[in-house]
Structure 1
Amino acid sequence: MAARIILHIGVQKSGTTFLQHVLQANADALVKAGVRYPVSPDWARGKRTVANHEWASYGLLGTEFPWVSQDRASEETSSWQTLLDDVKSRPGTALLSAEALSVIRTPAIHRLLDALGADEVEVVITARNLGWALPSLWQQHIRNGRSVSFERYLTGLAAERERGRDHIETDRSAHLWRAFHLGGLAQRWSDAGATRVSVVTTPGKPPHLLWQRFAEAIDLPSFAEPPTMPTDRAHTGLTAPETLVLSSMNAAIRQTSWSGQNADLIRQAVTARFQSRAKRGNKVAAPPEWQARLAEWAEEDLATLQNTPAHIVGDLEDLRHDPSTEPAAPPTPEEIAQAGAEAALALAAVALQETLIQRNIRRLRHRLTT
């Protein structure tokens, strides 16, 4: 079995999908370098864009993840067993990547480590500063169908954070801060028995810098320039005006009788149209009155992190939030109107395409009956 297992546990919005693309594209070359990244033959099922091990982890830890039902966990039991058999059937080093593992509590960490049964389990955490991560999380929240304002979203996070470390460590619903309070995350895994915890910082750009630091963290500096470096951006976020338009759309969709599947199709069409635009407006940023709070949170987390056994790869300055670098003005009415017009065009394109298909079906039926 693998004597050494490396767990890349995220966190979300820190370049995890990019790293997984690099790992998947270079799986064969990595084996020659002594590290195996298992790629399941059925990884492409569902909506995944890249192979990772999150769904398999549902089969072991199930409802430890707040968004996973018992039925969904049961569906993934065989996926977990396949992955575990793969890891245990081959010697050397195995690398698994699942950003959801950043939210699990200490008992679940013990279950995972016991199940893996390796002599060495190293943990790698990739991280960006809260001033970038929280806006990105909110716009992803909107892309998933919500309509809560950024102000209300941050207010909820603040209230949860103020309940303290015991709440974050034990309450199943406090999963966001369990991941994004980096000091607590590193200490939790270290206390649970990880042989080494590394925190890889990233400023976001250039992406190859993140890979180079990641290669250093997994003790593979010779792979700092992998044979294949994907150029496609797996996740392109929405801008501030686009997010506001989509949020309003989500609120309106809830007043209809559309199925969840149809609502998802509409959102996908609109976001695809947004991402094809040349001029899209400024990125999502926290409201000005929240900027100082985000900077304080980042400083608190950084101080906690520095008191853990975590090995830092990169620059700790990457984890600080500088409010002066954020857009000073909210989206203008004109920018919001332009994004709204693009959303309308996306919906018109869907409607026209459906009309054309229906017309062709009628023509085909007519020919078959004459």
Structure 2
Amino acid sequence: MARSVYFHIGLPKTATTYLQTICWAAPDQMRRDGVLLPGRERRDHLWASRVVREEGRRGRRSQRELTAWDRIREDLASWPQDGLISHEFFAAASAEQAQRAVADLAPAEVHLVVTAREPLGLFTASWQESLKNRSTTPMADYGRTTSDRPSDTWNWRALDLRLVLERWSEAVPPERIHVLPLDRSAPRDDIWRRFAGVVGLDADAYDTSQSFPNESMGVVEAEVLRRVNQHLGSFNRAFDKGVYIRSFLADERLVPRRGEPFWPLPDQVEDCRARGEAALAYLASRPFDVVGDVAHLQVPASLPPRRTPDSVTDTEVAEVATELVAVLLGDVRELRTARRGDEGPAERAVSRWRRWWPSRR
């Protein structure tokens, strides 16, 4: 069995995609560093989090997904050095689920790695992320309760550092829990260097240029996406959400508009501030290994003025939406004229549509 397993559980929206992209681009280098990235592909860790958290709908999932946690454990069982498991949705696990997951990795010594962020920026980013996953919840209604269901990942259940640490510290002692506060003012690779240092990797041996930040939408663009989601009833598959809503529409069409940043409502800001203070007090009460400055987990006392999403007008939505239609029409024209030999999955889908459409004009 692996000597030690570093279990990176998030939190969501704390540079997790950035860190995972670097690691999954260089599993062989990680092996040379003595750290195994178990599983056959990146999705194994997402699927394993679903198994550990006992998400429902088992009948609708493939055998590969249902056995992902077993594959990870088997790989670690045959590896004599250290291992790394990484997915942010593990943060939503219950205390009992966390205990079972850690027990499943025995006799390896489990270290928990928790990347964290000040709650206000985290809250705003997580609401946008929920929209990219086809949510239609207005920000004014977002985060009003803390769920007791491990399946709810876009909720304070997985976003509140104190709540996550309380559950997971029942499975892993605080001295083996490494908390890495995200410093938004530092160079991009700062979090990678601290993460690599905890896990035992040579940070300089890895190419970080292919991992890009997950940028934010502006306030009007976010409201446009929320309203579009109300009409996407057939886009239920993970592939649809990931490829078409998140990547094609949000990240590639709405984010580049560089719209206005925004805050939630004032009472939500104060809730974020209180959660940050509670997390700091909890960290100070136990011997956690904090790798970085805990001040970065605190909501600033003074904030610059910004709009809230409920201030977006129908006129603003119409302006962005009509411009978006023009951009999408250009995309369709480009795809229709693409050479067949250069087509990927999206282009082939358009080709099938093109063959279908002329006969019905």
Q: Distance in 2 between matches of 1:58 and 1:359?
A: 35
Q: Kindly indicate whether the alpha-carbon contact (under 8 Å) linking 2:114 and 2:178 is maintained by their aligned counterparts in 1.
A: yes
Q: Kindly indicate whether the alpha-carbon contact (under 8 Å) linking 1:146 and 1:250 is maintained by their aligned counterparts in 2.
A: yes
Task: Measure how far apart 1:239 and its partner are.
Answer: 1.9
Task: Measure how far apart 1:263 and its partner are.
Answer: 7.6
Q: Kindly indicate whether the alpha-carbon contact (under 8 Å) linking 2:36 and 2:79 is maintained by their aligned counterparts in 1.
A: no
Q: Distance in 2 between matches of 1:136 and 1:151?
A: 14
> Kindly, what percent of the aligned residue pairs are identical?
24
Deviation by residue 1:169-203 (Cα, 9 ceiling, x = unmatched): x6547763332232332243232245710100112
Partner of 1:237: 216
Q: What is the TM-score when the length of structure 1 is the normalising length?
A: 0.78
Mapped pair 1:228 → 2:216:
no
Structure 2, unpaired ranges of 5+: 338-350
Partner of 2:255: 275
Partner of 1:54: 46
Q: Kindly indicate whether the alpha-carbon contact (under 8 Å) linking 1:10 and 1:16 is maintained by their aligned counterparts in 2.
A: yes
Q: Which amino acid aligns with 2:45?
A: H
Partner of 2:296: 318
Distance 1:290 1:181, change over 3 A: closer
Partner of 1:99: 88
Q: Which amino acid aligns with 1:150?
A: M
Mapped pair 1:20 → 2:15:
no
Q: Distance in 2 between matches of 1:115 and 1:291?
A: 39
Q: Distance in 1 between matches of 2:286 and 2:162?
A: 7
SS of alignment partner, residue 53 of structure 1: helix
- After TM superposition, the structure 1 = structure 2 runs for residues 168-317 of structure 1, keeping only pairs within 5 Å, are 172=150, 176-194=155-173, 196-204=176-184, 205-220=186-201, 223-233=202-212, 235-253=214-232, 260=236, 264=241, 267=245, 269-271=248-250, 272-277=252-257, 280-317=258-295
Distance 1:152 1:86, change over 3 A: same
Q: Distance in 2 between matches of 1:189 and 1:362?
A: 53
Q: What is the TM-score when the length of structure 2 is the normalising length?
A: 0.80
Q: Distance in 2 between matches of 1:35 and 1:266?
A: 34
Q: Kindly indicate whether the alpha-carbon contact (under 8 Å) linking 1:9 and 1:99 is maintained by their aligned counterparts in 2.
A: yes
Q: Distance in 2 between matches of 1:263 and 1:34?
A: 37
Task: Measure how far apart 1:118 and its partner are.
Answer: 2.7
Q: Kindly indicate whether the alpha-carbon contact (under 8 Å) linking 2:112 and 2:178 is maintained by their aligned counterparts in 1.
A: yes
Q: Distance in 2 between matches of 1:252 and 1:233?
A: 30
CA RMSD of aligned residues (A): 3.2
Q: Distance in 2 between matches of 1:116 and 1:250?
A: 40
Say how many residue pairs are matched: 335
Distance 1:183 1:62, change over 3 A: closer
Q: Distance in 1 between matches of 2:280 and 2:103?
A: 30
SS of alignment partner, residue 142 of structure 2: helix
